[in-house]
Amino acid sequence: MTRHLHPRIAPRRSTARATTWWGKAWVRAVEESAFAHEDLAGARKLARSGRVGQIAVEEGGYYAAVEDEGGMVTVAGVLPVLDADGRATLVEVVAAEAGRIAALMSGELPHLLVEHADEAGVELLPYGGELGSACTCDAWADPCRHALAVLYQLAWLVEVDPFVLLHLRGLAREELLARLHEREQVPPEHADGDLESALDAALRAARLLELLDDPDSRVDHLL
C-alpha cells in the first residue's frame, strides 16, 4: 500500500471555493454528506484556519489531525477503491487517448476521461454517501465538522493534483505510470514472433533475388 503525506495547507483568508469542475464535484459530494449547514460553515472556517495537519492519503483512505478549541482530534476517512477489473479498465481509459496522461501530470482531469471511465463502469468522482469518516471527537454527527474540514482540504488537493483522487480510488500515481509503461512494451512472445516473421521474410527475399539472377529459373509464380 502506498501512503503519501501532503504538506500542511497554510491559513487562507478567502472562502477558497473550488474552481475546477472536478473540484466542484468533490465539494458537492462533501456537502451532500453533511447533516447541517452549520456543520459545513464551521468546517469551512476550520479548513481555512490552518489548523488541519498534514493529510496522509493511501488507497481507500485518508488521515489527519485537526486542532480546535477543545484540543487535538484525529480524523480517519474512507473512499471505496476500484477492484482489480476497475483499475485495469481505468488504465485502458487513460491510455485510450493521446494526451490524457500528460493532462493528469500537469494537474488537469479531462472531462472525457471521467465520462468514458463512467461509461465503462468505473466511477471516479465520489458522491456523498461514499465519504465515510470517523473522528476522535464526541460529536454525534458523521461526518463531524473536523472530518468535513479535512474533506474540504482534500478538495483543494484534488484540484491541484487529480492523482490524489486516483490514489484514493486505489490507483496511486506510481502504479498507474508503471501499468501504462508495461502496456506500451511489446510482450516477449510477440517480439519473438515478429523477429521470426521478419527473418523468414528476409530469407524469402534473398531466395527470390537468387532466382531472378538465374536466367534458367521460372519465377513467374513468385511475382
pLDDT of 223 reads 40
CB-CB contact of 46 with 66 (8 Å): yes
Q: Where do the domains of the chain lie?
A: 3-184, 188-222
Residues written for the chain:
223
The x, y and z cell numbers of residue 148, run together, are 468535513
Q: What is the pTM of this model?
A: 0.81
Name every residue whose Cβ is closer than 8 Å to that of residue 139 and which is 6 or more positions away in sequence. Answer: 145, 146
CB-CB contact of 13 with 178 (8 Å): no
Q: Which residues, given as ranges, of the chain have pLDDT below 50?
A: 188, 190-196, 198-199, 201-203, 205-206, 208-209, 211-212, 217, 219-223
Orientation angle between helical segments 111-119 and 84-95, nearest 10 degrees: 140
Nearest 5 degrees, angle CA 142-CA 71-CA 51? 80
Orientation angle between helical segments 21-33 and 145-160, nearest 10 degrees: 170
What are the angstrom distances between the C-alpha of 2 and each of 49, 56, 80, 111? 29, 10, 16, 26
pLDDT of 187 reads 57
Sheet containing strand 132-135, strands side by side: 3-5, 56-58, 61-68, 71-78, 132-135
Nearest to 146 by CA among 57, 56, 73: 73
Residue type, 7: P
In whole numbers, what is the pLDDT of the chain averaged over residues? Answer: 86
The x, y and z cell numbers of residue 90, run together, are 481505468
